[in-house]
Amino acid sequence: MRHSLREAFKRVGSFFRKDQLDQELNEEMASHLQMVVEENMRRHMTAEEARRQALVRFGGVQQALERHRESRGLPWLDVLMQDLRFTFRTLRRDAGFTIVAVLILALGIGANIAVFSVVNTILLRPLPFRDPQQLVRIVQKNPKAGESSRTYSADATQDFQQQNHSFQSVSGYFAFTGPDNFKLVGTAQPVPVTGILVAEGFFQTLGVEPSLGRLFRPEEFVKHSQPVALLSYPFWKRQLGGDRSIIGKAINLSNTSVIVVGVLPDTFDFGSVFSPGAKVDLFAPYIMDDFRDDGNDLALVGRLKQGVSLAEAQGEADQLFPQLYFEHKHPEYGKGYTGQLTGLKEYVSGKLRRSLIVLWCAVGLILLIVCVNLSNLLLARAAARIKEFAMRRALGARRGRLVRQLLTESLILAAVGAVLGLGLAYVILSYLAHQGSIALPLLTMVRVDGTVLEWTLLIAVGSAVLFGPAPGLRMSGGNLQEVLKDGGASGGRSHNRMRSTLVITEIALACVLLVGAGLLLRSFLRVLDIDLGFQPSRAGAISVDYDDGGNAAKRAAIWQEIVRQSSMIPGVEAAGISDKPMSRNRSWGIAAKGEEKRDDLGYLPVFVYIVSPGYLKAMGMRLMEGRDISWEDASNNRSVVIINETVARKLWSGQDPIGRIALTGGTEAQVIGVIADVRESSAEDNAGAQIDKCVYHTFALDPEIHRNAPTKPRIAFLKTKKCQHRPGRNRPGSFLAGLLFKSFR
Partner 1 sequence: MGQSKLDLMQGTLDVMVLQTLEAMGPQHGYGVARRIEQVSGNEVLLNQGTIYASLVRLQQRGWIAAKWGTSDHNRKAKFYSITKSGQKQLVQDTAYWQRLAGVMGRVLAMQGEGDER
Q: Considering beta carbons, is residue 61 or 377 the nearer one to partner 1? A: 61
By CB under 8 A, tell whether 671 contacts partner 1. no
Q: Considering beta carbons, is residue 8 or 530 the nearer one to partner 1? A: 8
* Closest CB 77 distance from partner 1, rounded Å: 16
Which among 58-66, 308-316, 712-720, 737-745 is the span making contact with partner 1, rule CB under 8 A?
Answer: 58-66
> Cβ(174)–Cβ(148) under 8 Å?
no
Cβ-Cβ contacts under 8 Å for 64 (sequence gap 6 or more): 29, 58
Which among 22-30, 435-443, 528-536, 733-741 is the span making contact with partner 1, rule CB under 8 A?
Answer: 22-30
Which among 55-63, 440-448, 482-490, 528-536 is the span making contact with partner 1, rule CB under 8 A?
Answer: 55-63
Cβ-Cβ contacts under 8 Å for 559 (sequence gap 6 or more): 577, 612, 634, 699, 713
* Closest CB 74 distance from partner 1, rounded Å: 12
Cβ-Cβ contacts under 8 Å for 605 (sequence gap 6 or more): 144, 145, 148, 149, 587, 588, 589, 690, 693
Count Cβ atoms below 10 Å from residue 234 Cβ, excluding itself. Answer: 15
Q: What residues form DSSP beta bridges with 193?
A: 182
* Closest CB 53 distance from partner 1, rounded Å: 11
Q: How far apart are CA 526 and CA 466, in angstroms?
A: 38
Q: How far apart are CA 448 and CA 430, in angstroms?
A: 10
* Closest CB 13 distance from partner 1, rounded Å: 9
Identify which of 204, 291, 215 has the alpha carbon closest to the alpha carbon of residue 247.
215
Q: Which helix (H) or strand (E) holds 572?
A: strand 572-578
* Closest CB 80 distance from partner 1, rounded Å: 21
* Closest CB 404 distance from partner 1, rounded Å: 24
By CB under 8 A, tell whether 35 contacts partner 1. yes
Q: Considering beta carbons, is residue 29 or 439 the nearer one to partner 1? A: 29
Q: How far apart are CA 336 and CA 338, in angstroms?
A: 7
Q: Which of 15, 25, 589, 596 binds partner 1 (CB under 8 A)?
A: 25
Which among 23-31, 204-212, 474-482, 495-503 is the span making contact with partner 1, rule CB under 8 A?
Answer: 23-31
> Cβ(198)–Cβ(157) under 8 Å?
no
**3-state per-residue secondary structure call for 386-397:** HHHHHHHHHCCC
Q: How far apart are CA 729 and CA 300, in angstroms?
A: 41
* Closest CB 67 distance from partner 1, rounded Å: 4
By CB under 8 A, tell whether 561 contacts partner 1. no
Count Cβ atoms below 10 Å from residue 402 Cβ, excluding itself. Answer: 19
Q: Considering beta carbons, is residue 25 or 100 the nearer one to partner 1? A: 25
Strands (E), 58-108: none
Q: Which of 41, 45, 61, 310 binds partner 1 (CB under 8 A)?
A: 61
Q: Considering beta carbons, is residue 16 or 333 the nearer one to partner 1? A: 16
Q: Which of 15, 29, 213, 419 binds partner 1 (CB under 8 A)?
A: 29
By CB under 8 A, tell whether 684 contacts partner 1. no
Q: How far apart are CA 427 and CA 434, in angstroms?
A: 11
By CB under 8 A, tell whether 24 contacts partner 1. yes
Helix axis angle, 399-433 relative to 450-467, nearest 10°? 140
By CB under 8 A, tell whether 27 contacts partner 1. yes
* Closest CB 398 distance from partner 1, rounded Å: 22
Cβ-based burial of 580 (10 A; exposed 0-12, middle 13-18, buried ≥19): buried
By CB under 8 A, tell whether 26 contacts partner 1. no
Q: How far apart are CA 208 and CA 220, in angstroms?
A: 18
Which among 60-68, 333-341, 489-497, 664-672 is the span making contact with partner 1, rule CB under 8 A?
Answer: 60-68
Cβ-based burial of 693 (10 A; exposed 0-12, middle 13-18, buried ≥19): buried
Site string for partner 1, 411-440 (x = CB under 8 A): ------------------------------
- Strand, helix or coil at 182? strand
* Closest CB 64 distance from partner 1, rounded Å: 3
By CB under 8 A, tell whether 11 contacts partner 1. yes
* Closest CB 65 distance from partner 1, rounded Å: 8
* Closest CB 396 distance from partner 1, rounded Å: 20
- State how far Cα 465 lies from the chain centre: 31
**Whole-Å CA distances, 503 to 109, 308, 365, 378, 509:** 21, 55, 15, 13, 10
Q: Which of 18, 60, 526, 535 binds partner 1 (CB under 8 A)?
A: 60
* Closest CB 54 distance from partner 1, rounded Å: 9
* Closest CB 43 distance from partner 1, rounded Å: 13
Site string for partner 1, 67-106 (x = CB under 8 A): xx-xxx----------------------------------
By CB under 8 A, tell whether 31 contacts partner 1. yes
Which among 34-42, 379-387, 452-460, 598-606 is the span making contact with partner 1, rule CB under 8 A?
Answer: 34-42
Q: Which of 57, 217, 485, 564 binds partner 1 (CB under 8 A)?
A: 57
By CB under 8 A, tell whether 741 contacts partner 1. no
How many chain residues bind partner 1 (CB under 8 A)? 30
> Cβ(226)–Cβ(314) under 8 Å?
no
Cα radius of gyration (the chain): 37
**Whole-Å CA distances, 183 to 263, 544, 740:** 18, 10, 12
Residues binding partner 1 (CB under 8 A):
3-4, 6-7, 10-11, 14, 24-25, 27-29, 31-32, 34-36, 38, 57-61, 63-64, 67-68, 70-72
